[in-house]
Amino acid sequence: MNTIQRQQRAYQEALLVALRNELAERGVTAAFVIGDDDRPRVEVMDVHLVTRRVYVHLPFMWFYWGDQPDERVSCTDVPRAVARVQEAAAAGWNPGEQGEISFNLHQIAQAYRF
């Protein structure tokens, strides 16, 4: 891991720890975890005792817990993000498997190439 990757990883972890701490203060069950895939995340339990993994997407500055538009929030305002995650957990996570956000930036760049 190079210096930039280490700094990005540290920033991801700091954002996730801040999210976890704020959720815990609000009484939401949440745990900071480094997964088997070596990705940092916060595991958050909803009202139905279902756990979702919240990740940070640094290029877009999002916390996300699925691939739907209502399953992400900006991480530039942590208190607002905490409120949104808490609201989603209180309502219950969307049914089904947790989706994953992925973008192929190369394809996007190719689409605008003349």
Q: Hey, where are the domains in the chain?
A: 3-111
Tokens of 48: 């139905």
Residues 42 and 33 sit within 8 Å (Cβ to Cβ): yes
Residues 45 and 30 sit within 8 Å (Cβ to Cβ): yes
In this prediction, residue 1 carries a pLDDT of 77
In this prediction, residue 94 carries a pLDDT of 87
Tokens of 88: 């989603």
In this prediction, residue 97 carries a pLDDT of 78
pLDDT digits (tens, 9 = 90+) for 64-113: 999 888 999 999 999 999 999 999 999 999 887 787 766 555 655 566 66
pLDDT digits (tens, 9 = 90+) for 6-57: 999 999 999 999 999 999 999 999 999 999 999 999 999 999 999 999 999 9
